[in-house]
Every structure is written in C-alpha cells, then in structure tokens.
C-alpha cells in the first residue's frame, strides 16, 4: 500500500467504501474517484477481496447429491448415522468414566492393607535369605559346629586321627606286615 | 431492523428474486419449493463447505437445511426474506454440527482440521486436492485471527455474496453493527500481508 498520501487521503475512507459505498457522501466519493493514491488503495483492497471470493468458489467442490425432501405426513429421520455415532460416543465415555471411578474406589480401599502385606513379606524374605546364607556358610547343626573344620581350624590332623582312627589306615598297616 | 418496502420480485438488495416461487412454496406447493431448492442448492452447499471443509458433512448438512426449510416455509410471511431466512437456517445447522463435533472430539484423541477422507478429483488430479487444502488452510488461519462476529460477517459478505441488509437479517443484528464488524475484518484483511501475498501467488 502506498505511504505517499495526500492531505485529503484516508485509508479508513477506502475501507468504508469497500464495506458500503453508500456510507460516503458525494464529495468523499468524488475524492476516491479522482485521487490516484486513494484509487490505487481501493483497487488493491477491492481486487484482493474479489479475488478471495472467486478463489473460494473455485476451491469448492460441486455437490454430488441433490437434497431429498420428505414425503408429506412422514417425518424424515434426522441424520441417523450422526446420532448413532453420538450415542455410541456418549455411552463409551460414560463407561470409561465409570471404570475410572470404580478403579479409583477399589484402589483406595485396598491400598493400606496391601502395602503392609508387601512390607511384611519383604521382611520375611530378608530373614529367610539370611538363614539360607548362614546355612551356606556352615550347614551343620549347632551341636556339631565345634568339631567342624571351620570351627577347629589350626588343630593338628594327627589329633583327629588319634581320636577317630581311619579304617583304611589300619588295613594298610596289616597288609604291609603280611608282606614283610 | 425491518427494511423499506421492496420492489415486487426483488430481494433485499434490489436483485431479481424468486418471490413468486416463494409465495407458492409458502402456500404448500412442493414443486415451487423444489424450484427454490435448485436455485439455492449450490450456494448453500458452498456456504456450508467453506465453514467445515468436508464434502461429505457438507452434503449431509445441506440436506438437513433444505428439509428444515421445507418444513418451515409455510410460516414465512415476506417472500423477500426467503434468502436471509434460508441462510439463517443454514448458519444454525452449521453451528449445531460444530457443537456436536466439539462434543464428539472429547471422546477422540484428536480432531482433524481438514477432512482427509475427501477423495481427490480423478479428472483434475491430486494437485487440485492439495491446492484446495492449502487454500482453505491459509484462509482458516486468517479467520482464526478474527472475532466470531467479524469472521461470520466477512464470510457472508465476501464468500457468500450477501449484501449488508441480508447479513443483518441473517445475523439478527442492526446494519450499523454489521458494518462495524465488517470494517474491522476488512482492516485486518488489508494488514494480513501473508494472505495478500498468497492471493497474488495464486493469481500469478
């Protein structure tokens, strides 16, 4: 748009003319006709709007179906497909809301008990695991612990042989005696 | 808001109209109404399509508009008011559809601005479909920057070709209010360099 305006020029007047040319008095209309700046402004704006209208018409497809009028005395169902879709959508939405509500109530009612149970179960598991680890270290009952190798580490093997003689050792001695 | 006495057989803007057919239709003549339907079918379809950009929905809504008009034409007293009366029915039907669409969109993850189900024209090819999509997307971007009243008045004037008096009747507002909305909308259109550039490109 031109910025080189004459004193009598006004873009507001151009817009008013585009909106309704009868709004301008004859003197203002004469100015729009004769002033080259205003005439150019008007040409641009009016041309743009007309072009828009033509393009809108060009970019609109042709209707395929001719409307069908209802038979006298019989009411035509109003867009049953749309209504069915709406009914399904509403029903589905309602079911979803109910599901969420029920799930929330159920969750809130079982939550405290459930968390306690889980905590207790975890504590029991830990105790059991500790017991298993202790048995892995030494599976003997307490009464035998004192004579187990771990407990008696450092004691000479001969003392054990003396306390509990090995049968194989005696047989070996006897066979050597016979050979001799 | 009632207009001055109109010349016989002309509409609110002084254009030749189908006043005789309207009178006969109002008296219960089905054929006269079908004559009116043939005269306005394409215009009403174009009006609906420009607002919802979905051919299938536009066909359904156009059907509904003419059924509503047929059922109510007997109550029409002034034949000159037929056109704005029909456009008001159309506007109400479009608003009803958009309300229902908004309601439906609550139950869907997202809504489409453009109807992808529309089949490209096999004769003019896919480029026609893409051009159309581009045009309406750009125009709707511009419309999103207008207030609802400015948008509606602008569409009725420059897309649907109604005069100020007809728009005033359709929107049930006085003419000076319509002109104020229109003035603001045109001023915004003038400042929209994007849209003006796009229109020039299309022209070239």
User: Which tokens in the block code for residue B145?
Assistant: 């920057």
Contact B30 A85 (CB under 8 A): no
Indicate the pLDDT class of residue B173, thresholds 50, 70 and 90: very high
In a domain, A153, yes or no: yes
User: Is the Cβ–Cβ distance between B181 and B146 less than 8 Å?
Assistant: no
How many domains, chain B?
A: 2
The CATH number for B65's domain is 1.10.1740.10
Q: How far is A60 from chain B (nearest CA, A)?
A: 6
Interface A-B: count of C-beta contacts within 8 A? 109
pLDDT for residue A14: 92
- Whether A63 is covered by a domain: the verdict is no
- Which residues does chain A have within 8 Å of residue B164's beta carbon, measured at their own beta carbons? 19-20
Check: CB of residue A12 under 8 Å from CB of residue A5: no
Contact B30 A69 (CB under 8 A): yes
Let me know whether B112 and B203 are in one domain: no
Range of the domain at A111: 82-137
B42 at A interface, C-beta within 8 A: yes
Q: For residue A50, what is the enclosing H or E element? A: helix A36-58
How far is it, in rounded angstroms, from Cα B57 to Cα B114?
12
Has this prediction a pTM greater than 0.90? no
Which structural domain range is residue B34 located in? 1-118
Q: Which two tokens stand for residue B111?
A: 């809504």
Asked whether the predicted pLDDT for residue B91 surpasses 90, the reply is yes
> What ipTM score was computed for the predicted complex, to two decimals?
0.80
What's B183's domain CATH number? Answer: 1.10.10.10
Say whether residue B191 is in contact with chain A using an 8 A CB cutoff. no
- Determine, yes or no, domain membership for A70: no
Say if A69 falls within a structural domain: no
Q: How confident is the model at residue B11 (pLDDT cuts 50, 70, 90)?
A: low
- Same domain for B190 and B90: no
Is A97 within a domain?
yes
DSSP lists the bridge partners of residue A126 as: none
B87 and B161 both lie in a single domain: no
Stretch B117-144: mean pLDDT, rounded? 74
Residue B204: closest C-alpha in chain A: A51
Provide, as residue numbers in chain B, all residues whose Cβ is less than 8 Å from the Cβ of A72: 30
Nearest CA in chain B to A22: B164
Q: Does A99 touch chain B (CB under 8 A)?
A: no
The per-residue pLDDT for B94 is 96
Query: What kind and span of H or E run contains A79?
Result: none
Whether the pLDDT of residue B114 is over 60: the answer is no
């Amino acid at each position: 748009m031109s910025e080189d305006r004459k004193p009598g020029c006004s873009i507001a007047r151009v817009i008013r003319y585009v909106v309704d040319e009868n709004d301008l008095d004859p003197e203002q209309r004469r100015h729009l006709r004769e002033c080259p700046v205003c005439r150019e402004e008007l040409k641009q704006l009016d041309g743009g709007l007309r072009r828009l209208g033509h393009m809108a018409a060009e970019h609109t497809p042709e209707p395929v179906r001719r409307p069908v009028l209802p038979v006298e005395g019989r009411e035509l169902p109003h867009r049953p497909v749309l209504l069915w879709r709406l009914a399904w959508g509403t029903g589905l939405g309602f079911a979803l809301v109910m599901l969420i509500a029920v799930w929330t109530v159920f969750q809130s009612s079982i939550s405290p008990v459930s968390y306690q149970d889980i905590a207790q179960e975890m504590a029991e598991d830990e105790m059991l695991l500790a017991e298993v680890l202790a048995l892995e270290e030494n599976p003997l009952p307490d009464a035998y612990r004192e004579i187990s190798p771990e407990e008696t580490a450092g004691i000479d093997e001969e003392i054990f042989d003396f306390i509990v003689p090995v049968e194989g050792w005696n047989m070996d001695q006897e066979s050597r005696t016979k050979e001799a | 808001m009632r207009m001055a006495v109109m010349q016989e057989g002309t509409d609110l803007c002084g254009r030749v109209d189908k006043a005789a057919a309207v009178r006969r239709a109002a008296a219960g003549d089905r054929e006269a109404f079908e004559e009116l339907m043939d005269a306005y079918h394409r215009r009403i379809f174009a009006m609906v399509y420009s607002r919802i950009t979905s051919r299938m929905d536009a066909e359904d809504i156009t059907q509904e508009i003419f059924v509503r008009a047929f059922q109510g034409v007997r109550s029409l007293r002034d034949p000159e008011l037929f056109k704005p009366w029909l456009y008001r029915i159309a506007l109400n039907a479009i608003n009803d559809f958009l309300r229902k669409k908004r309601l439906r969109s609550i139950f869907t993850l997202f809504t489409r601005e453009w109807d992808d189900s529309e089949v490209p024209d096999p004769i003019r090819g896919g480029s026609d479909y893409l051009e159309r999509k581009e045009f309406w997307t750009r125009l709707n971007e511009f419309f999103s920057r207008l207030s609802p009243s400015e948008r509606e008045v602008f569409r009725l004037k420059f897309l649907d070709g109604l005069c100020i008096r007809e728009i005033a009747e359709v929107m049930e507002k006085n003419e000076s209010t319509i002109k104020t909305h229109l003035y603001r909308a045109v001023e915004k259109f003038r400042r929209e360099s994007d849209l003006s550039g796009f229109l020039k490109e299309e022209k070239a």
